[in-house]
Amino acid sequence: MAARSPHAQQLLRCSVQLLLAREELPAGLQLASPSQGALQLEVLPGAEDADVTVTDEYNTFSNAVKRCRSQKKENSVFSQRTDEASAAQYFQFYGCLSQQQNMMQDFVRTATYHRAIVQNYTDFTDKVVLDVGCGSGILSFFAVQAGARRVYAVEASSMAKYAELLVRSNNLSDKITVLAGKIEEISLPENVDVVISEPMGYMLFNERMLESYLHSKKWLKSNGMMFPTYSDIHLAPFSDEQLYMEHYSRANFWYQEWFYGVNLSSLRSAAVDEYLQQPVVDTFDVRILMAQTVKYTINFIEATEEDLHRVEIPFVFQMMQSGLIHGLAFWFDVAFVGSLVTVWLSTAPTEPLTHWYQVRCLLQTPLFAKEGETLSGKVLLVANKRSLVVCLKPQHHLSLSKSCAETRSGIDPKSITFLILKKIPYGCAPLFKNSAFHVLFVLPLRLMKMAAFGRV
């Protein structure tokens, strides 16, 4: 190394702001001061190779950060629970402006969120807010309108760049910070007073974003608030002969015994099963409901991510009319509990229509019930890396005594219906089965949050 000139003997100091939380620092990298969030680099450059010395130091630090980020991503809660290809397609779907427009144009959804935030302005004034899955950032703008001092808008899809553009064009860069990434993987410089999000999917649980919403509580102060605060999912038996036959008759194609010389009839039974396995996302007249609803509540303040991995909803319905039960209908409500007012967003069939509609799951074999009898059983929701599996296990009790025939597993396989709420845009491959039953219902993401009206 060449001799150092006198003017090059003083230390060259620079401060590099870390984009990582303290617990994310790779081994061997220490903060200069426990009270600071920057790494202090001190370099004594030589007369000729000063640039080389500085570059080596930078590369070492940069590579360590990259390795740490890569390891953090691989070990994140999101990556552990979600199939990589599924996540890529999911975020591609929500990276489209057309999908954001569809949700923003849902007047009930957007107006209710605006009212819940603005009317509870005391909960936002001079507060720090976290917007989980911000999309276009519309909820972040509402928070600023309610007086928020700072909003961290987190978005994992390519929509983050559009949200950033909206923030700049509305001159709110000093109020809203857009963070591109998943809430499970990003870091915030401070804890927040309020978490806002729109994490609900079809039948509430679809898309599994509720888990990301609950995960965000790690940044919430002990006395912090969540908007929405809790949710009620409702279910009830329904009778709809036309709907059932509409799905059943789709299999008639496979009843042909001479299709270009080929007998297809051996596949008709399998085709009937497949068509009846499709859930129906639409709206309906409440008069088809045969009993009062059963309600299941999830408190987002108290619930954990693990609570949503397996949700069991027992039900006992007192039949209000006689007839065939063709399946169960589902919808949900969410409550925004503020200091000033509590605002409800409902997707019930008795309320104005939203882009969530309602969901109906058909039984493979309809059950006949008389007025005054009971229908009991449970709905079991089990999550996996690509979907949410919904298992319907109705046990029809006649006069509170007779029930369906039992097998070794304790439940008649014919009385079990399954629904998979997919987290990928396309494809209907069965993802869940065991020795007693197979997956029956599949709901692709192409049905999620679409604007088309009517049955899909």
H or E element: which one contains 298? strand 294-299
Q: What is the mean pLDDT of residues 195-222?
A: 92
Q: What is the mean pLDDT of residues 274-288?
A: 90
pLDDT at 25: 47
Report the first-to-last Cα separation within the chain, whole angstroms.
Answer: 74
Count of beta carbons in the 10 Å neighbourhood of residue 307: 14
Q: What is the pLDDT of residues 398-451, one digit of tens each?
A: 333 233 323 223 333 344 444 444 332 222 222 222 222 222 222 222 222 322
CB distance 50 to 85 below 8 Å: no
CB distance 405 to 368 below 8 Å: no
Q: Is cis: bond before 34, omega within 30 of 0?
A: no
pLDDT at 343 > cutoff 50: yes
Task: Determine whether 111 is exposed, middle or buried from the number of CB atoms within 10 Å of its CB (0-12, 13-18, 19+).
Answer: exposed
DSSP 325-378: EEEEEEEEEEEEE-SS-EEEEE--TTS---TT-EEEEEEEEEEEE-TT-EEEEE
Query: To the nearest whole percent, how much of the chain has pLDDT over 90?
Result: 50
Hey, which residues does 179 pair with through a beta bridge?
Answer: 154
3-state helix, strand, coil in the chain (%, to 5): 30, 30, 40
Instruction: Using DSSP bridges, classify how beta strands 342-346 and 294-299 pair: parallel, antiparallel or unpaired.
Output: unpaired
Q: What is the pLDDT of residues 313-330, one digit of tens each?
A: 999 999 999 999 999 999
In this prediction, residue 390 has a pLDDT band, given cuts at 50, 70 and 90, of low
Q: What is the pLDDT of residues 30-78, one digit of tens each?
A: 444 444 444 444 444 544 444 444 445 556 655 655 555 555 555 677 6
User: What three-state secondary structure class fits 17?
Assistant: strand
Task: Check the CA dihedral 350-235-331-282 and report its sign.
Answer: negative
The one-character DSSP state at 56 is: H
pLDDT at 207: 77
In this prediction, residue 209 has a pLDDT band, given cuts at 50, 70 and 90, of confident
Q: Which residues are within 8 A (CB) of 234 and not within 5 positions of it... i.e. 6 or more apart?
A: 293, 294, 295, 330, 331, 332, 333, 348
Least confident of 18-27, 119-128, 195-204, 243-252: 18-27
pLDDT at 79: 61
Q: What is the pLDDT of residues 97-147, one digit of tens each?
A: 888 898 899 999 999 999 999 999 999 999 999 999 999 999 999 999 999
pLDDT at 32: 43
Whole-Å CA distances, 409 to 79, 406, 434: 34, 7, 12
Neighbour-count burial for 10-34, b at 16+ CB within 10 Å, e otherwise: eeeeeeeebebeeebbbeeeeeeee
pLDDT at 150 > cutoff 60: yes
Count of beta carbons in the 10 Å neighbourhood of residue 402: 9
What span, in angstroms and rounded, lies between the C-alpha atoms of 123 and 142?
A: 12
Count of beta carbons in the 10 Å neighbourhood of residue 252: 11
pLDDT at 242 > cutoff 80: yes
